[in-house]
A and B are shown apart, each in its own frame.
Chain A
């Protein structure tokens, strides 16, 4: 059985990946998730803004190496419409959370499991309940 696992990072996971400390437990968890994700790995651009991930900044070098520009998921017109629809269903969800789940839904169309690594499990899980992709929501703690 071929197992395909995709990954979407929320802002807490993206921020952790930016850490340049010699040892960082949260960053290690994100890296483990990246290692496990043999499918597509995605960072919504709204997540990058929230996390302060500027790809042109020297401090982003390590994060860029693991998740290059090809991982960016742009919030285009279609994605924005879908994010609005989801937020109407989960009123407490943030814009960033909605873009994360929209990204997961898009990746899930290719099949496989999509892991969302997030610090906001309740809202993300509530949003993910309204998409048809096989989503696993993991707490980054």
Chain B
């Protein structure tokens, strides 16, 4: 296993330890004054229960997104034949969900083709979730327009 793989797996193990342990480490982190104030205000508005919780969750969310993207990108680089089409991933994402894409597979194909043209790097960077969300957002819009354009029955 190459060193980068070791580091990625170590990062994944560190994240899974977050769920298993309540152990904390005090650390001094300098953050921009504006960001500090923004987090304080957001916690007062109910975003999270404390400054620490807000910053911890934001950091954890960002790390988990990074890990997923990196893992997928490295896998696709190592095994190019495993790369699915964006349309296939979108169809799978909505199966059983009730999303408009389930009843409008043609719109999923159309939107996925368009997004794939705009985001050809989606697989290389592992940014699958961002690309799928963009496709499904377009599908909802297109399906809504199609429903409005349908002539009303007498």
Contact = CB atoms under 8 A, between A and B. Distances in A.
A138 B95 CA distance: 10
B92 A33 contact: yes
Interface string A125-141: 00000000010101000
Interface string A92-126: 00000000000000000000110100000000000
A138 B92 CA distance: 10
Size range of the chain A interface in the assembly? 20 to 34
Contact of B8 (A3, A34, A65, A69): A65
B23 interface: no
A62 B88 contact: no
Interface stretch (B35-43, B46-54, B76-84, B111-119): B76-84
B12 A70 contact: yes
Contacts of A69: 12-13, 16
Nearest to A41: B68
Contacts of B89: 32, 35-36
Nearest to A33: B92
A38 B132 contact: yes
Interface in B77-106: 78-79, 81-82, 84, 88-90, 92-100
Interface centre among B1, B13, B93, B136 (most CB of A within 10 A): B93
A3 B97 contact: yes
Interface residues of B, number: 36
29 contacts: A3-B93, A3-B99, A5-B92, A24-B79, A24-B82, A28-B81, A31-B82, A32-B88, A35-B84, A35-B128, A36-B92, A38-B93, A61-B1, A62-B78, A64-B9, A65-B9, A65-B75, A66-B71, A68-B15, A68-B67, A69-B13, A70-B12, A70-B13, A70-B15, A70-B16, A112-B97, A113-B96, A115-B95, A136-B96
Per CB-CB distance, the 9 closest pairs between chain A and chain B, nearest first, are: A70-B16, A68-B12, A36-B92, A136-B96, A32-B84, A23-B81, A28-B82, A61-B1, A36-B93
Interface of A: 1, 3, 5, 22-24, 27-28, 31-36, 38, 58, 61-62, 64-66, 68-70, 112-113, 115, 134, 136, 138
